[in-house]
Amino acid sequence: MSISALNFATPIRRRIEVAPRDFARRDHAISLFDAGQFVDSVTATLGYLLPTTSVPDLNNDALCLAQGSAHIHIEIQGEELLVRAPLVTLKPEAQVVAAMRFFLTRLSATGQLFQPRLREQTVALEFRERLALLHPLKLLEVMQRLPMEADNHDDWLVQQFGVAMAERQSVTGLTDAEFDAAWQLWSAHWSAVEELMTESRRRRQISLLDSLGSFTVNNLVYSLPLFGPVRTRINECADEFTSRDETATKRDNELAKCVKEMRQVTPEALRACLGHSTYAINPQHEGTPSLLTSILGGGSRMQKTGEHRAAGRGLEATLELVADYLYLLAHHSWPNEIDAALRAGLASASDKPWREAADLLWNHANATAKTFGSHGDQDKDDPADADELQNNFDAHPHHEH
């Protein structure tokens, strides 16, 4: 076997510090709405979502938030609330028809609460609703999706269609030392994926292809502060090679194409897509004890991994456990002690042979679930959030935008 271990270098991506949600504030916002105090309900909802931000009187002042590279504007206009994220400005020399086709097919959808709108040559994602119809849960859904969509697409649209950035929040570039480490991590990652693909093709196991696809995208999400065209292209490929609705052959081919494209990215192009951003709204899901238990606590997934260990298939067991750890760290925010525990688990398996790495991660996962997971009626998770996270995981096991 050409690859005998995985290396987990110190991530360049900075951990996002977020204040814990106070569900009592959300419930208070719902009570205000039920009492007909609609403006106060909006203010309370935003206060729940943005616990460290002072929300102004939206009747008189707009609230502007920085979400990655995007700006989000929130204001009350008469009897309506407007949430708006300017994306791009169309130029005569731009590929206007192609850009508009993208907006109509990829950024809009029937039943979606927000839609792209063209006003004075500027395309923005907009949500507008009468205050009397704006239940706090509807506003929360918009505010947890619209800003992320704006951040995910603005830089990429500029490069893809030749349009101009309408508004852009500055991103802090990497230092020379950070970029040197990032380039080493990037190169080592794709080399490892390429070698793991050879093993996946030789063993012809769907479960191994699942774990490899998850590792491919989430190791980068966890390790590097990617944005712009490179991130968007990886996400497009990941939609294919992590999809269980596609055939194994198509998934393998898409992963191979992604590896080839990413190996051709120059240092200059990669550096232009790396930087530290600020987020008014947590771009990650809030991790819960029930999620830890469902993934690391001895369910069907861990049972399958245990079977791999018992059969001496160290690579398969290790990659499955690594994929789970990376998923939890890349797409969820955790209290300090849980975050540190998950990172320590990955570090313990770095550069270890497959069998040893599998044993270390297996024991660490069980200990982590036992210490921090949910335990029957002691689980204090918000039930709706816990169910939503588990449904997301089951439907799209290891890849989220």
Q: Where are the domains of the chain?
A: 23-165, 173-279, 284-401
The whole-chain average pLDDT of the chain stands at 88
pLDDT for the residue numbered 189: 97
Q: How confident is the model at residue 93 (pLDDT cuts 50, 70, 90)?
A: low
| 94 vs 145, more confident | 145
Determine the Cα–Cα distance for residues 250 and 268; give it in Å rounded to an integer. Answer: 31
Considering the chain, what percentage of its residues have pLDDT values greater than 90?
66
Q: Are 290 and 374 in contact (CB under 8 A)?
A: yes
Residues facing 172 on adjacent strands:
276
Q: Residue 387: pLDDT above 50?
A: no
Q: How confident is the model at residue 375 (pLDDT cuts 50, 70, 90)?
A: low
Q: Residue 1: pLDDT above 80?
A: no
Determine the Cα–Cα distance for residues 366 and 344; give it in Å rounded to an integer. Answer: 14
pLDDT for the residue numbered 303: 86
Give me the mean pLDDT over the 361-373 stretch: 95
Q: Residue 396: pLDDT above 80?
A: no
Q: Residue 160: pLDDT above 80?
A: no
Q: Residue 277: pLDDT above 50?
A: yes
Q: Residue 220: pLDDT above 50?
A: yes
pLDDT for the residue numbered 192: 97
Question: Residue 34, class by beta-carbon neighbours within 10 Å (0-12 exposed, 13-18 middle, 19+ buried)?
Answer: exposed
Q: What is the pLDDT of residues 20-38, one digit of tens each?
A: 788 999 999 999 999 999 9
The token pair that represents 246 in the structure block: 């596609």
Among the listed ranges 69-73, 129-133, 274-278, 391-395, which one has the minimum average pLDDT value?
391-395
DSSP conformation class of 226: B
Among the listed ranges 68-82, 139-153, 314-328, 332-346, which one has the minimum average pLDDT value?
139-153
pLDDT for the residue numbered 385: 46
Q: What is the pLDDT of residues 94-105, one digit of tens each?
A: 666 776 777 777
Cα–Cα distances (Å) from 341 to 229, 282, 338, 366, in that order, read: 33, 21, 5, 12
Q: Are 150 and 67 in contact (CB under 8 A)?
A: yes
pLDDT for the residue numbered 392: 47
Q: What is the pLDDT of residues 264-274, one digit of tens each?
A: 999 999 999 99
Residues facing 115 on adjacent strands:
126
For 23-165, CATH gives 3.30.1460.10
Q: What is the pLDDT of residues 35-75, one digit of tens each?
A: 999 999 999 999 999 998 899 999 999 999 999 888 999 99
Q: How confident is the model at residue 360 (pLDDT cuts 50, 70, 90)?
A: very high
| 159 vs 214, more confident | 214
